[in-house]
Amino acid sequence: MRKRILNIFKAAKNKKVLVLILLFILIVSFLVIWIFFIEPNLLIVKNLTIKDPELKGIRVAYLTDLHICQNEKAYFLKLIKTVNEQNADIILLGGDYVVVDMFMNKTMEAKEIAKLLTGLKAKYGVYMVMGNHELHGKSIKILSENLKDSNIKILQNSNVRIKIRDKSLTIVGIGDFTDRRHNIKKAFNNAEKPIIAFTHSPLIFKLIPNSVNMTFAGHTHGGQVYIPGLGPLAKPRGYKGIYNKGFYEKKGKTMFVSSGIGCSHLKARFFNLPEIVIADFK
């Protein structure tokens, strides 16, 4: 009788272990599917409300780190449609349209990317800077040539004064800090307040003049894979402990860092949904 009872307990224990093993396999399988196949293909609109009387009533869309791969045309047509539906006054493009060294995938040709981007529409303009990935090959040249006569204005260390309804403001585009393509003096030449600045790398924040009302940046992807309690698994060189994603304030200046839309090196995201940033100034 005792032996029979021991066998029953042993069988139950083995069954419990088997259930735990199966549960572990299911959880790992779900995470793999989510991280590599589901989350990178999702898209959210991240709405921000920013208090600034000088810019009150203005709506800005900021898109960064698109990293468009050759098999993602349908996804980006959907993205463009979603952006246009937000009715932003201006659209700012923060760089990294191509992708370099993507595992098991290749970048869409820069010429085709330029054609896709011209589908973006905003009543008061679409403005663009380049990212560090555009430095590889001839991407900057190809994008610039194919957007020359389009609705997109490239602001690479330059600015433009525009009027949105009853408000005049300056849009400043700053070259990428990562590869030392920035020129603050040139970018802000004759720039009058109020000022909205946008760029690729948030490391430029320390050089941004105090006269700037708001700065938008990207580049970090929010770490791409973010583990709650641990933080991002990977961050660009020079970003340890700073500028992951979200709002940052320093000496009266404000910057928002977007986790972006695409991926680099490996198509994977976790707790970093691809995002279209819509900022409403109140």
Prediction pTM value: 0.91
What confidence category does residue 255 fall into, taking pLDDT thresholds of 50, 70 and 90? very high
The answer to whether residues 111 and 25 belong to one domain is: no
Q: Report yes or no: 46 and 77 within 8 Å, Cβ to Cβ.
A: no
**pLDDT for res 110:** 94
The answer to whether residues 260 and 199 belong to one domain is: yes
CATH number of the domain bearing residue 116: 3.60.21.10
Higher pLDDT among residues 266 and 159, named by residue: 159
Give per-residue pLDDT as tens, 38-92. 999 999 999 999 999 999 999 999 999 999 998 899 999 999 999 999 999 999 9
Phi, psi of 143 (to 5 degrees): -60, -45
The answer to whether residues 49 and 24 belong to one domain is: no
Torsion angle of C-alpha atoms 77, 270, 47, 54, degrees rounded to 10: -110
Q: How many domains does the chain have?
A: 2
The answer to whether residues 48 and 28 belong to one domain is: no
Lowest mean pLDDT among 32-41, 236-245, 260-269: 236-245
**pLDDT for res 88:** 98
Query: What own/partner pairs with CB < 8 Å and gap ≥ 24 does 102-107 have?
Result: 102/67, 102/69, 102/263, 102/264, 102/265, 102/266, 102/267, 103/265, 103/266, 103/267, 105/69, 105/70, 105/71, 105/267, 106/69, 106/70, 107/67, 107/68, 107/69, 107/70
The answer to whether residues 3 and 58 belong to one domain is: no
**pLDDT for res 123:** 96
The answer to whether residues 148 and 230 belong to one domain is: yes
d(C-alpha 71, C-alpha 36), whole Å: 15
- C-beta neighbour count of 279 within 10 angstroms: 22
Domain housing 168:
44-281
Lowest mean pLDDT among 20-24, 29-33, 166-170: 20-24
The answer to whether residues 158 and 250 belong to one domain is: yes
The answer to whether residues 68 and 35 belong to one domain is: no
Give per-residue pLDDT as tens, 115-151. 999 999 999 999 999 999 998 878 999 999 999 989 9
The answer to whether residues 140 and 23 belong to one domain is: no
The answer to whether residues 15 and 103 belong to one domain is: no
The answer to whether residues 11 and 49 belong to one domain is: no
The answer to whether residues 118 and 158 belong to one domain is: yes
Q: Residues 238-263: what's their mean pLDDT?
A: 90
- C-beta neighbour count of 256 within 10 angstroms: 22
Q: Report yes or no: 173 and 204 within 8 Å, Cβ to Cβ.
A: no
